Amino acid sequence: MDSKQFREAAPGSAQHQEVAALTEMLRSATAGYVTSHPDPRAAMSLLMTSMQSYSGILFGQLLYMGEVPQQDTARAAKMASRNFREGIKVGLARSQRVGREIGFEGTQQ
């Protein structure tokens, strides 16, 4: 893997659209777990933890395969943090849109 892979995908680019499609796939795959869990908030917390761990597992596999150098670990962690913050923005905007559609404004204005 070339270190260029850690650069930001431009909005609307093929890579950005692929990430969005994968994210939607994960959301769809885990929606049943969240909605059927006795405590959906706990389920969301567990999912956030497991997805972050899975990202690290994938990076560890790339390290083992020699596809990324050890020096890229800090850069990958920084990008993961940035992606998390961007995901919060997307999740909040999506929730606000859906809330307006169903007549629920939520607690975050």
Let me know if residue 85 belongs to a domain. Answer: yes
Let me know if residue 3 belongs to a domain. Answer: no
**Residue of 86, 107, 83, 79 whose CA lies nearest to 95:** 107
Let me know if residue 43 belongs to a domain. Answer: yes
Number of domains in the chain: 1
Q: Are 78 and 55 in contact (CB under 8 A)?
A: no
Let me know if residue 90 belongs to a domain. Answer: yes
Let me know if residue 2 belongs to a domain. Answer: no
Confidence of residue 60 (pLDDT cuts 50, 70, 90): very high
Let me know if residue 31 belongs to a domain. Answer: yes
Let me know if residue 109 belongs to a domain. Answer: no
Residues 6+ apart with CB under 8 A from 10: 16
Residue-wise pLDDT tens digits, 87-98: 999 999 988 998
CA separation, residue 84 to residues 6, 23, 32, 41 (Å): 14, 12, 22, 18
Residue-wise pLDDT tens digits, 5-28: 556 778 888 988 999 999 999 999
Domain encompassing residue 31:
16-102
Let me know if residue 10 belongs to a domain. Answer: no
Question: How many CB atoms are located within 10 Å of the residue 76 CB?
Answer: 19
